[in-house]
Amino acid sequence: MAKYVLKRILILIPIMIAVSFIVFSILYFTPADPARIMLGASAPQDALDKMRAELGLDKPFLVQYGNYMWGVLHGDFGVSYRSRQSVFLEIFARFPVTLKLAGLSIVTVSVLGIFLGVISAVKQYSILDRILTVFSMMAASIPSFWLGLMMMLFFSLKLGILPSYGVESGWKSYVMPVIALSLPSLAEVIRMTRSAMLDTIHQDYIRTARAKGRMEGGVIFGHALKNALMPVITVIGSNFGSLLGGAVVIETVFSLPGLGNLIVTSIRTKDVPQVMAGTLFIAFLFCVILLIVDVAYTVIDPRVRTSYIGTGKRPSGKRDRGKPDSEVKAS
């Protein structure tokens, strides 16, 4: 087991390097002259040239990338064009907010989504099931930022019980952002859990478990849910990506001082190192989540454990080969 996790962590390194290369190449094309931003519009030409040389901007693309990555390896993510401070300081200050937002959302999505999905499947065709189906259809179609605005209108401006911006009021500040952010993903998890549960619930081994005299709760959660959990975990993992992306927008809506907000303001001010560092940070976080999901498969499903551990095969990408993604995404 430890060997497998170690292997997965080692695979993470080339992936992260590739991700950083993509992000660096994209942002390399930003039409901003950092020297001009730092020195102001009226700076003389030779001062600009000197500044460019100092920043290493006169070197070829690959050398610049190499220098940047060398710095990243040493914990130096570059210097903000605006504040002239290490961008890492700002990221470090903002990261907890995003982590809290995304973390609370993913917990809400997983717990509530699986629970409601199971209920929906167990009580198939009941009123509750129908309500949940309609609810998840609606929830998937509401843009999270609009939902955020509407809640703000009602709870902050009309009732005045929840703050409409900032994080100064503790847990209250996170209520609306978390709801707005998690609703679309919640819909997806409910639907996935429902269909996965419906697939397993009619299997023979469920009937066997019932015939053995196991309590209904044990049958549902011990046998059915355990077997239905794999596709649900896949969906939760990929939804963490949407949550991190959505956090960028939600943080803007509620003016939360998080990473997403930082990225958006930095894009506006053309502060490339800050954008780069923020984006890389979120991308790395997502990579780690995907790793955790991969490891979670082996923890939950003994079949995966025995097929991947000990055979020395590379697990990544083999899982869904030959199976259309639509099938995974669908249902």
Partner 1 sequence: MMRWKEKEPAVPAGEVTGRVPTEEEEFIEKEKFEFWHRFCENKTALLGLVVMVIIILMAVFANVIADAELVTLQDISVRSQGPGAGHLFGTDGYGRDIFTRVVFGARSSLFIAFSTIFISCLAGILLGVLCGYRGGTVDTIVMRIVDVFMCLPPLLFSLSIVAAIGNGMGNLILAVSITMTPYFTRVVRATVLSVNSMDYIEAARANGATDLHIIMRHIIPNCMGPIIVEATISLSTMIMIAASLSFIGMGVQPPTPEWGAMLSDAREYMRDAPWMVLAPGLAIVITSLSFNLLGDGVRDAMDPRQKK
Query: For binding to partner 1 (CB under 8 A), which residues are involved?
Result: 15, 18-19, 22-23, 26-31, 137-138, 140-146, 149-150, 152-153, 157, 241-242, 244-246, 248-249, 252, 263-264, 267-268, 275, 279, 282-283, 286-287, 290, 316-317, 320-326, 329-330
What number of CA atoms fall less than 13 Å from residue 185's CA on the CB side? 31
Maximum Cα–Cα distance across the chain: 86
Minimum gap (Å) between residue 18 Cβ and partner 1: 4
Minimum gap (Å) between residue 95 Cβ and partner 1: 15
Q: Between residues 261 and 298, which has the closer beta carbon with respect to partner 1?
A: 261
CA distance 152 to 61: 45
Minimum gap (Å) between residue 132 Cβ and partner 1: 14
Minimum gap (Å) between residue 238 Cβ and partner 1: 9
Minimum gap (Å) between residue 138 Cβ and partner 1: 7
C-alpha pair distances (Å), 162 with each of 112, 138, 145, 240: 22, 24, 17, 26
CA distance 265 to 271: 9
Q: Between residues 167 and 244, which has the closer beta carbon with respect to partner 1?
A: 244
Q: Between residues 209 and 281, which has the closer beta carbon with respect to partner 1?
A: 281
Give the residue carrying structure tokens 């100092």.
Answer: 54
Minimum gap (Å) between residue 287 Cβ and partner 1: 5
- What is the CB neighbour count within 10 angstroms for residue 155? 18
CA distance 207 to 235: 27
Q: Between residues 35 and 248, which has the closer beta carbon with respect to partner 1?
A: 248
Let me know if 308 is exposed, middle or buried by CB neighbors in 10 A (0-12, 13-18, 19+): buried
Minimum gap (Å) between residue 162 Cβ and partner 1: 15
C-alpha pair distances (Å), 226 with each of 6, 51, 219, 299, 320: 26, 60, 10, 11, 20
Q: Which residues contact 322 (CB under 8 A, 6 or more apart)?
A: none
Q: Between residues 73 and 157, which has the closer beta carbon with respect to partner 1?
A: 157
Backbone torsions φ then ψ of 79, nearest 5 degrees: -115, 135
